Amino acid sequence: MKNKITPLSDFVFLRWAREKETKRGVILSDTSKSRPAIAEVIAIGPGKLDKNGNYIKTQLKVGDRVVVDPFIPQLIKIEGEELWVAREGEIFAKIN
């Protein structure tokens, strides 16, 4: 997928993560009705332009697991796969 499409600017493509237990035993679930949700970063744009036209690189990388409000990202379908698009600034945190 990452070779077929590249986000522009500070856009990030996400896939909702599967349920996973953390090292401390906390279960993170994508099926929960509560907010926010856990997603996996599938592709990232080059970053956001500052006032001088220089790129501010994104802090994320492909494969990162992130916390995002499930109502913010926009759904897109590429070759039958559902992906979600959000700006880097709309992502709350990265899970280590």
* 73 found inside a domain: yes
22-78: pLDDT as tens digits: 566 665 555 555 667 899 999 999 999 999 999 899 999 999 999 998 888 899 998
* 22 found inside a domain: yes
Which residues, 6 or more positions from 94, have their beta carbon under 8 angstroms from its beta carbon? Answer: 59, 60, 64, 65, 66, 67
Q: How confident is the model over 7-22, as a mean pLDDT?
A: 81
> What local confidence, expressed as pLDDT, does residue 28 receive?
57
* 20 found inside a domain: yes
* 46 found inside a domain: yes
For residue 33, the enclosing domain spans: 11-91
* CATH code of 45's domain: 2.30.33.40
Domains of the chain: total: 1
Name the one residue in this structure whose structure tokens are 């997928």.
1
Going by C-alpha positions, the residue among 18, 64, 63, 77 that lies closest to residue 85 is 77
Please give the model's pTM, rounded to 2 decimal places. 0.76
pLDDT bin (cut points 50, 70, 90) of residue 19 is low
* 21 found inside a domain: yes
